[in-house]
Amino acid sequence: MKRLLLLVLLLPVQQLIAQKWAKNYDFVDQCICGLSKVSKNNLIGYVSIDGTEVIKPQYSEGFTFSEGYTAVRKTDKWLYIDSTGKAVTDEIFEDANSFSEGLAAVSRNGLYGYINTNGKLIIAYEFSTARNFMEGIAPVSNKKGFWGYVNKSGNWVIQPQYDFADCFTNGEARVIKGDKVYYIDKTNKQLHE
């Protein structure tokens, strides 16, 4: 209860602090992992909760931080940086997603694979589309466009058979097959529509 009261009392103070520096930017996103994504003159950068510019606006696009890292786009390629702005790897990608459960989906030559937070390729570039890992598995589509689920080793746990598949949440995921929309569990058992 004391924690909740302290949080309620601190929120207005944080908002007042943010109001003083937020006017220096065209856009200020919510603070995640201690940093807020900001935009100035159509460039993305990151500031700390007190308004200190940690990573100056220099990127054409960028995500909020997740697991201590974010994907940013400079010109037409994506790279990953840490909370100090240091590049995680020298690798650049055609497309990039946020880290989730220690992995991020990235693409090269039109195919997706997954890297870890050190920038090492963990799952090879073999998917047409790839989404975030949730509950240990990720929805991906094969070259024919069918969706299924892979584990963190890149092995199929649910074979590609769906027209679309969402991430798992609370043990279930929404899938679409033809004109049917329903939910499955991690064994591919249909739960409900």
1, pLDDT greater than 80: no
Are 13 and 64 within one domain? yes
For residues 89 and 161, the model is more confident at 161
Are 88 and 32 within one domain? yes
Find out whether 149 and 137 touch, Cβ atoms under 8 Å.
Answer: yes
Residue span of the structural domain in which 35 resides: 1-127
Are 43 and 99 within one domain? yes
Q: What is the pTM of this model?
A: 0.83
Are 119 and 144 within one domain? no
A 10 A CB-CB count for 178 gives 7
- In this prediction, residue 43 carries a pLDDT of 95
> Domain boundary at 127, 155, 179, which?
127
Q: Of 54, 129, 47, nearest to 95 (Cα)?
A: 129
Find out whether 40 and 25 touch, Cβ atoms under 8 Å.
Answer: yes
Are 113 and 154 within one domain? no
Please state the domain count of the chain.
Answer: 2
Are 112 and 69 within one domain? yes
- Mean pLDDT over 150-166 rounds to 98
Are 144 and 123 within one domain? no
44, pLDDT greater than 50: yes
- In this prediction, residue 16 carries a pLDDT of 41
> Domain boundary at 81, 101, 127, which?
127
- In this prediction, residue 169 carries a pLDDT of 96
> Domain boundary at 88, 105, 127, which?
127
Are 123 and 173 within one domain? no
Are 18 and 104 within one domain? yes
Are 26 and 114 within one domain? yes
10, pLDDT greater than 90: no
Q: Which of 4-8, 82-86, 110-114, 116-120 has the highest mean pLDDT?
A: 110-114
15, pLDDT greater than 80: no
**Strand spans (E) along the chain:** 27-32, 35-40, 43-48, 53-59, 61-62, 69-74, 77-82, 95-96, 103-108, 111-116, 121-127, 129-130, 137-141, 147-151, 156-162, 164-165, 173-177, 180-184, 190-192
- In this prediction, residue 32 carries a pLDDT of 80
Are 116 and 144 within one domain? no
CA angle (31, 33, 35) in 5-degree steps: 45
Are 76 and 142 within one domain? no
